Structure 1
């Protein structure tokens, strides 16, 4: 399958790399030193599931140079999605599938502002990975998985075929029967990233101290309450399941949002705790812990964005 990976970071580098190793025609979008290293030495992936590398990689920093793909995986930060969708418009055709894997619950709707709805899928991924150095991806934790589907959760042939392609490439894939519920399950879990940012702590540190563990639980319970108000079908014990899942993360691990906050970079704050706060205001739901996290980080987020403008 002719595939375009937009964003060759921890997510795009891993899943795109697996597809390339499996023999698919993959083009990667990368920039700067990362692009140069991939051009010269290929893409190297260190993984808890086994290291691998891709030689003679197709890589460019210009979407406009790419031939029409059958599949586009968007693996950039959430705030970059709209601009990417705008750039994709000239290179896709009516059969191109566009699959966003962003954190949050807004990506597919944002893409549809620029691309035909028939092209757009909805999805999420589970993986803890990052760029270690130019041309080098490190998969640190969590069994890599893509959960995806049509935006209305219909079981079409194209998504069933795509599931098979993903599985044959060597990672888990599941066509969702309720993609909104799946997006919100992950959304609930990732919003603890802001709490890690505020406390400047790892998953292990936050979960072992009873006070911050309780804050984590309260943060999750607020999001579950919001989801219920929005008629999202989540299981009653999701908070307990999420905490149990986070208890399996390596002690010193963090999230991309947390690392961005610590390093003074723009983060996905608006698409995580910020989204909770704004949706809760519209729904009339009180979310004090998420509000605390959001406004505690907001001034730092504004400073980081001023630096990049």
Structure 2
């Protein structure tokens, strides 16, 4: 199977390197100094599960240079999906499968606006990782996991085959029977990233301070209530489980959105707390904490995108 990793950052770089290490045919899409480092020296992965390096990698900047991959794993930021989907469409064959691992709940829908829906899966990943320096991926926390499934909730041979590939590479993977619900579960969790950004805290600082812990729980509850209104089937005790999971994160860790906001880079705020606010208005659900987080970050987001 020919695999393309579009976006070789903390997510795509880690999972792509694992697939290469297991002997799979992988082509990376990256940019800038990171791309040069991959082309010249391969990828170094520093991981809490053990460091490793893969060399002699195929990497390019242009999606259109990939020749009809069988599986495309998308590791780009959520807001970049709209920018690249036309180029993705150009390199597909009729059975190519696209697996988006973006934060938020819109990736599959945005892909399907330009690409035949039968080529698109639903997916998510769990990992705390980042580009430490060009060509170096640092896996900081959480057991790296990919959860994916058919959008119509069917169990097909193609997803079983992809699952076997992931497991052959030592990647923990799960075939979801309801990928919409699983994507929403992660969406609820990841929206804490914006609260980290505005409170200028790590996960440890946020959860260990009574006042910010209460804000965190309130933010999660708002999105949980929104999910119920939207008809997503999530268990009634999910918020408690989410808080317990966040309590396991390394105390000094943050998230990619948090770091992007702090570094004055474009972020996924529109696809996280911004989406909560917009869907809340659509469904008549009050989301005051998410609205506060979104509103605080928005001026910096506009500056980062050169719009102010």
Place the TM-score, normalised by the shorter chain, in its bin. Answer: over 0.9
**Structure 1 partner of 2:113:** 113
Whole-Å Cα distance in 2 between the matches of residues 131 and 276 of structure 1? Answer: 28
TM value normalised by structure 2: 0.99
**What is the match of residue 75 of structure 1?**
75
1:62-211 equivalences under 5 Å are 62-211=62-211
SS of equivalent to 1:4: strand
1:4 equivalent in structure 2: 4
1:121 Cα offset (Å): 0.6
RMSD: 1.0
Structure 1 residue 237: Cα displacement: 0.8
Equivalent residues, number:
308
Question: 2:57 and 2:280 mapped to 1: Cα distance?
Answer: 44
The residue that corresponds to 2:279 in the other structure is 279
- Please give the TM-score of this superposition, normalised by the length of structure 1: 0.98
How far, CA to CA, are the matches of 1:291 and 1:31 in structure 2? 33
- 1:43 and 1:264 mapped to 2: Cα distance? 26
1:59-93 Cα distance to aligned partner (Å, 9 max, x none): 00011111110000010000000121111111111
How far apart, in 2, do the equivalents of 1:135 and 1:118 lie? 34
Report the Cα offset of residue 54 of structure 1.
Answer: 1.0
Residue 49 of structure 1: CA displacement? 1.0
> Aligned with 2:144: secondary structure?
strand
**1:168: Cα distance to partner?**
1.1
Distance in 1 separating the partners of 2:211 and 2:9? 34
CA offsets per residue over residues 82-105 of structure 1, 9 Å max, x none? 121111111111110001000000
Alpha-carbon distance, 1:292 to partner: 0.5
Aligned to 1:233, the other structure's residue is in SS state: coil
TM-aligned CA deviation for residue 13 of structure 1? 0.3
Q: Deviations over 1:166-215 (max 9, x none)?
A: 01111110110111110010000000000000001100001001010000
